[in-house]
Chains A and B, each alone.
Chain A
Amino acid sequence: MKRYVIIGNGVAAAGCIEGIRGTDSKTPITVISEEKHPVYCRPLISYYLEHKTDMEKMNYRPADFYEKNGCEVLYGRKAVSLDKENKKVILDDGSSVSYTSVCVAAGSSPFVPPFEGLEAVEKKFAFMTLDDTLALEKAVNEDSDVLIVGAGLIGLKCAEGLHGRVKSITVCDLADRVLSSILDTDCAAVMQKRLEENGIKFMLSDTVTKFSKNTAYTKSGAEVKFDAVVLAVGVRANTELVKNAGGETGRGIIVDDGMRTSIEDVFAAGDCTEGNDISSGQKKVLALLPNAYMQGFTAGVNMAGGESLFDKAVPMNSIGFFGLHAMTAGSYDGELTDCSENGNIKRFFIRDGLLCGFILIGETERAGIYTSLIREKTPLDTVDFGMLMRTATSAAFTEENRRKKFGGVV
């Protein structure tokens, strides 16, 4: 009997289900969900700590989502291997599920370096899942000193989430700046300042060399007392299933624009994949919710025999701290034009007559107009880019372009 199998139950899986059902309304779908929750909005875990959302609102889809879409969900089960010859997914309880096609949407896992003494720390947490978040919430109170190892997106959103709920928050990172994967030095300094103004302490260019039960010892010789540690050093794509089955993997599972892996009838989507980043022309792990959904949707359509391409992927982030928003997109390996003014940062990176990336802090209105220039590879000589650098507006496009956008169905 025909059956689609999805390994993972995050947003890529939800996209995959919706992609399949747009093409094939009947064939049963089995979802293998290691987490014991229906699909939830993973990036909202910090907003949960902030009380800006709750468990109910964090549900990504309505309660009847799986039932309506003819999905059987195996909660608490883990896929341990792919038997590509017999087209079966082997589960951790020894059972197996046969597939017609399968989507690996297995996400990523926290990367924890082998810190000396880490085993002596009682209260240590990752900050990736709802269960991580609930455990962290339970372990801290207004008297807690919290150390966060890692000043990236995950570590800093955790810091913002805990703000006001604990006594102190210290963030350390080996990098010389915050958000080093998406911001340059100047931009990082602006965001760091906002965080510091809200009481978050930083130890940058420094790393923990050793832990004891309630103390971290850093390379610079500092000692940081803590009640709880959050380890947010980095993440690694969960590639093992495909790798062990002989599929092509790099830092993620290698996929084409149709989300096909190198193994027949095996697709992959979301944070576990490495797909084409059109802003740099390179294969990249783009661990972002929008990409996860769109990759999952594309995989679903193709699994069900339809035809779909996701060939407009670019890295992008909209991230705010204490009311200050930063938006970034694309890659920064182009010529920089800096249009910062009035305390707002606006940096554009141009390569071969195309916008390849940007960083905005503060003034982020209508930033999607910039993102679409990258995504659509719009030649900058066909728009008034001087005007666009001052303000994001469709007035900088041709009249014909505007007529299509605002006078037609798009």
Chain B
Amino acid sequence: MKRVYVNEEWCLGCHLCEYNCAFANSGISDMATALKGKTIYPRIHIEEDDKITYAVSCRHCTDPICVKSCIAGAITKKDGVIKINKDKCVGCLTCVLVCPYGALAPGENGVMQKCELCLDNSCGEPACVAGCPNRAIVYEERGEEE
């Protein structure tokens, strides 16, 4: 399946992916209304130190420990894509405690959210990748057929 992959040597640390993610998942059609002056809760985030910078989002693991650990049965894997049922999530953060990649974080209301590859929003494919100015994140097939 296609996933989001990172080329850290090309990442400028511009944080555009975060804005494009927050916008794509806002359900609002105008970017300024969606984002301007607001604290954003993107599902991808930039990590950096003084030498490197790269984007982190859900790896859609083949054997996802978050799915197995969710105490609310709110995280499921379907057709390779790992999703959160926000109605079921109680915000216990167990998924944060187990994800080795640091890819999950709560949204504005304390309910968890994560990258779902923009498959269910108006973008249809990852908005972070579409808006990356330097191909530091890509959406493609890698590795073996699953």
Q: Which residues of A contact B (CB under 8 A)?
A: 15, 41, 43-44, 47, 52-53, 57-61, 289-290, 293-294, 297, 316-320, 323, 325, 327, 329, 364-369, 371-372, 375-376, 387, 392-395, 399, 402-403, 405-410
Q: Is there a chain A Cβ closer than 8 Å to B43's Cβ?
A: no
Q: Are A44 and B68 in contact (CB under 8 A)?
A: no
Residue of B nearest to A375 (CB): B100
Instruction: Evaluate contact between B94 and A409: CB separation under 8 angstroms.
Output: no
Q: Which B residues are CB-close (under 8 A) to A376?
A: 100
Known: A44-B90, A52-B90, A409-B143. 5 other contacts (CB 8 A): A41-B71, A316-B98, A364-B93, A402-B54, A407-B5
A61-B73, A409-B144 known; A318-B92 Cβ under 8 A: yes
Given contacts A60-B73, A393-B102, A410-B61, contact A365 B97 (CB under 8 A): no
Query: Mask for B89-106, Cβ within 8 A of A = 1, else 0?
Result: 011111111111110110
B contact residues around A57 at 8 Å (CB): 72, 87-88
Knowing A368-B101, A402-B54, the reply to whether A293 touches B96 (Cβ < 8 A) is no
| B127 is an interface residue with CB less than 8 A from chain A | no
Q: Is the CB of B93 within 8 A of A318?
A: yes
Max chain B CB contacts within 10 Å: which of A59, A372, A402, A409?
A409
Q: In the bound complex, do residue A289 and residue B69 qualify as a contact, i.e. CB atoms below 8 Å apart?
A: yes
Contact A289 B54 (CB under 8 A): no
Report the contact-size class of chain B (Cβ under 8 Å from the partner). Answer: 35 or more
Residues in A with CB closer than 8 Å to B93 are 318, 320, 325, 327, 364
A407 to B88 alpha-carbon distance, docked (Å): 31
Q: Is B52 an interface residue (CB 8 A)?
A: yes
Interface residues of B in 71-121 (CB under 8 A from A): 71-73, 87-88, 90-102, 104-105, 110
Complex Cα spacing A47 to B73, Å:
14
Contacts of B61 in A (CB 8 A): 410
Interface centre among A41, A368, A376, A387 (most CB of B within 10 A): A368
| B94 contacts across to A, CB distance below 8 A | 289-290, 318
Report the bound CA distance from A53 to B90 in whole Å. Answer: 7
CB pair B68 A15 closer than 8 Å: yes
Asked if A406 and B56 sit within 8 Å, CB to CB, the answer is: yes
Interface pair B62/A53, CB less than 8 Å apart: no
Residues of B within 8 A of A402 (CB): 6, 8, 54
Measured in the bound complex, the distance between the Cα atoms of B98 and A375 in whole Å is: 10
How many Å lie between the Cα of A268 and that of B87 in the bound state? 32
Q: Is the CB of B59 closer than 8 A to any CB of chain A?
A: yes
Identify A406's interface contact among B5, B71, B98, B143, CB under 8 A.
Answer: B5
Complex contacts, A403 vs chain B, CB 8 Å: 8
Hey, which chain B residues are within 8 Å of A329, CB to CB? 97
- Interface presence of B7 (CB below 8 A): yes
- A407 proximity list for chain B (CB < 8 A): 5-7, 142
Is A289 a contact of B71 with CB atoms below 8 Å? yes
When the two chains form their complex, are residues B68 and A294 in contact, meaning their CB atoms are under 8 A apart?
A: yes
Chain A residues with Cβ below 8 Å from B87 are 57
Check B96–A368 contact: CB distance below 8 A: yes
- A residues less than 8 Å from B97 (CB atoms): 316-318, 327, 329, 364, 367-368, 371
For A323, list chain B residues within 8 Å (CB). Answer: 110
Q: Specify which chain A residues have a CB less than 8 angstroms from the CB of B30 in the assembled complex.
A: none
A28 → chain B closest CB, angstroms: 24
The smallest beta-carbon distance between A277 and chain B, in angstroms, is: 16
Residue of B nearest to A297 (CB): B68
B69 touching A293 by the CB < 8 A rule?
yes
Complex contacts, A364 vs chain B, CB 8 Å: 93, 96-97
A366 touches B68 (CB 8 A): no
CA distance A95 to B47 in the complex (A): 60
Give the distance in Å from the alpha carbon of A232 to the alpha carbon of B5 in the complex.
47
**Cα of A366 to Cα of B71 in the assembled complex, Å:** 18
Cβ distance A51 to chain B, nearest Cβ, rounded Å: 11
| Chain B residues with CB below 8 A from A372, complex form | 100
A41 to B94 CA separation, bound complex (whole angstroms): 13
Residues A371 and B100 in contact, CB atoms below 8 Å apart:
yes
Question: Given A368-B98, A395-B47, are A406 and B92 neighbors across the interface (CB < 8 Å)?
Answer: no
Would you give the shortest CB distance from A376 to chain B, in whole angstroms? 8
Known: A327-B93, A406-B59. Is A368-B99 also a contact (CB below 8 A)?
yes
How many Å lie between the Cα of A290 and that of B90 in the bound state? 16
The distance from the CB of B74 to the nearest CB of chain A, in whole angstroms, is: 9
